[in-house]
């Protein structure tokens, strides 16, 4: 059941602290600052990584791919439906990672099968024990989020991000105690967001907007895409997500005083450039909602602040996304949408 929540989506958003604890269980090793993923024993540092995924899982893969690249591994991310092993160099040195909550998405299974045929090593990162992806790949890592009933992926996205962050360290051996400490803190930090979020107030304020924009740079860019996808799916309203630098190359033309812009302003190295992009939309009169771990520094640029706790620079996007999930949920709720079963959508898409 929904345990007293109006929707599975809200229940699942609230289950995230537990889901993340499960994902972490037994994997980070404080003693030697390493990450061990038992089910991946024997899998070595790959020369190249290709991520293949769809929808929300693709956004998690974009986030994960950056972590791998930072570890010096040549990494690309593909929408599974566009993965073409005849056109893209894939060989035995390539690890092809399918990120798929259900493990039954036809596009992703198709990409993994093609990779298998060509002799690449394959790995699925999935939530469902014994799913097709798990059965058909050389290796499987479980995200352990528990069943997700709402069609919109929420807790599984956070768990995918954490799983991929761990995977990037497990396969490269490069970890630190700061990284592990920050990972361990995430479940409580997510809980504190759930306990204090002002997302419902922000949703009330902007429920009548024409469209919603989401912008972020670097590790936050995939979360901007995910924020927009979630908004579209469950509210049926126009939403766009961009790496913030792209705004001025076209989409800025759509920005008016009726398009709130959710801006991921976390205290990382891109803060200056992000503020520049925020000024671009501010000067068109757009309301700014800052999702930030440095509220004092951004308050003058924002109409609303959705605060997240301070964390490792790599994990701020995981926390920022929780606020975006809540905003979409509360907008959809205000609009009386069919939140757990949006029109035209199915939980797992088994056709190509």
State both tokens at 156.
Answer: 């599984």
Side-chain-facing half-sphere of 295: CA atoms under 13 Å: 9
Contacting ligand F6R (CB under 6 A), which of 62, 152, 294, 298? 152
Residue 283 beta carbon to ligand F6R: minimum distance, rounded to whole angstroms: 33
Collapsing DSSP states into helix, strand and coil, what is residue 121?
Answer: strand
Q: What is the rounded CA–CA span in Å between residue 122 and residue 144?
A: 20
Contacting ligand F6R (CB under 6 A), which of 16, 77, 102, 159? 102
Is 347 tagged catalytic? yes
- Among candidate residues 2, 232, 341, 347, the one labeled active-site is 347
Q: What is the rounded CA–CA span in Å between residue 332 and residue 292?
A: 23
Residue 1 beta carbon to ligand F6R: minimum distance, rounded to whole angstroms: 21
**Residue facing ligand F6R at closest CB distance:** 55
Q: Does 349 bind ligand F6R (CB under 6 A)?
A: yes
Contacting ligand F6R (CB under 6 A), which of 108, 197, 259, 325? 108
Backbone angles phi, psi at 333, to 5 degrees: -65, -45
Choice between 153 and 199, CB closer to ligand F6R: 153
- Window contacting ligand F6R (CB under 6 A); options: 15-23, 101-109, 199-207, 264-272: 101-109
Choice between 131 and 290, CB closer to ligand F6R: 131
Of 221-240, binders to ligand F6R (CB under 6 A) are 233
What is the rounded (10 degree) CA torsion for 223, 240, 255, 288?
Answer: -30
Choice between 103 and 287, CB closer to ligand F6R: 103
Backbone angles phi, psi at 234, to 5 degrees: -100, -15
x-or-dash string of contact with ligand F6R, 43-82, rule CB under 6 A: -----------xxxx-------------------------
Count interface residues toward ligand F6R (CB under 6 A): 14
Residue 45 beta carbon to ligand F6R: minimum distance, rounded to whole angstroms: 26
Distances (CA, A) of 214 to 239, 306, 333: 8, 13, 20
The answer for residues whose C-beta is within 8 angstroms of residue 181's C-beta and 6 or more apart is: none
Give the residue carrying structure tokens 């930030």. Answer: 292
Q: In what order do the strands lie in the sheet with 211-216?
A: 238-243, 211-216, 261-265, 288-292, 304-307
Contacting ligand F6R (CB under 6 A), which of 153, 163, 190, 289? 153
Distances (CA, A) of 194 to 181, 187, 313: 21, 11, 20
Choice between 111 and 274, CB closer to ligand F6R: 111
From the list 329, 307, 5, 292, the residue with the least C-alpha distance to 153 is 329
Choice between 48 and 347, CB closer to ligand F6R: 347
Residues counted in the chain: 352
Choice between 153 and 193, CB closer to ligand F6R: 153
Residues catalogued as catalytic:
347
Kindly list the residues in this chain that would bind ligand F6R in the complex (CB under 6 A).
54-57, 100-102, 105, 108, 152-153, 233, 348-349
């Amino acid at each position: 059941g929904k345990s007293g929540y109006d929707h599975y989506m809200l229940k699942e958003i609230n289950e995230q602290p537990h889901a993340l604890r499960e994902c972490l269980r037994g994997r980070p090793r404080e003693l030697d600052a390493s990450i061990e993923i038992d089910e991946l024993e024997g899998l070595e540092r790959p020369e190249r990584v290709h991520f293949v995924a769809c929808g929300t899982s693709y956004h998690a893969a974009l986030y994960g791919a950056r972590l791998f690249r930072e570890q010096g591994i040549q990494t690309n991310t593909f929408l599974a439906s566009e993965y073409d092993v005849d056109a893209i160099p894939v060989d035995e040195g390539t690890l092809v990672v399918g990120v798929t909550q259900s493990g039954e998405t036809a596009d992703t299974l198709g990409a993994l099968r093609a990779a298998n045929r060509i002799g690449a090593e394959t790995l699925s990162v999935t939530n469902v024990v014994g799913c097709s992806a798990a059965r058909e790949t050389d290796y499987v890592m479980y995200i352990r989020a528990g069943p997700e009933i709402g069609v919109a992926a929420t807790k599984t996205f956070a768990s995918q991000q954490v799983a991929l962050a761990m995977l990037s360290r497990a396969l490269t051996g490069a970890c630190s105690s700061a990284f592990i400490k920050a990972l361990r803190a995430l479940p409580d930090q997510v809980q504190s967001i759930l306990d204090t979020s002002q997302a419902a107030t922000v949703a009330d304020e902007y429920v009548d907007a024409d469209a919603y924009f989401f912008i972020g740079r670097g590790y936050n860019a995939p979360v901007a895409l995910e924020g927009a996808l979630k908004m579209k799916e469950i509210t049926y309203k126009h939403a766009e997500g961009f790496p913030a630098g792209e705004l001025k190359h076209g989409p800025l033309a759509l920005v008016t005083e009726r398009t709130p812009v959710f801006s991921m302003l976390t205290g990382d190295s891109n803060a200056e450039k992000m503020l520049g992009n925020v000024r671009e939309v501010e000067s068109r009169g757009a309301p700014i909602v800052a999702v930030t771990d440095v509220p004092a520094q951004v308050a003058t640029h924002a109409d609303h602040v959705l605060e997240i706790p301070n964390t490792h620079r790599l994990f701020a996007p995981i926390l920022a996304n929780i606020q975006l999930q809540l905003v979409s949920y509360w907008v959809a709720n205000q609009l009386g949408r069919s939140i757990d079963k949006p029109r035209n959508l199915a939980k797992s898409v088994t056709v190509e």
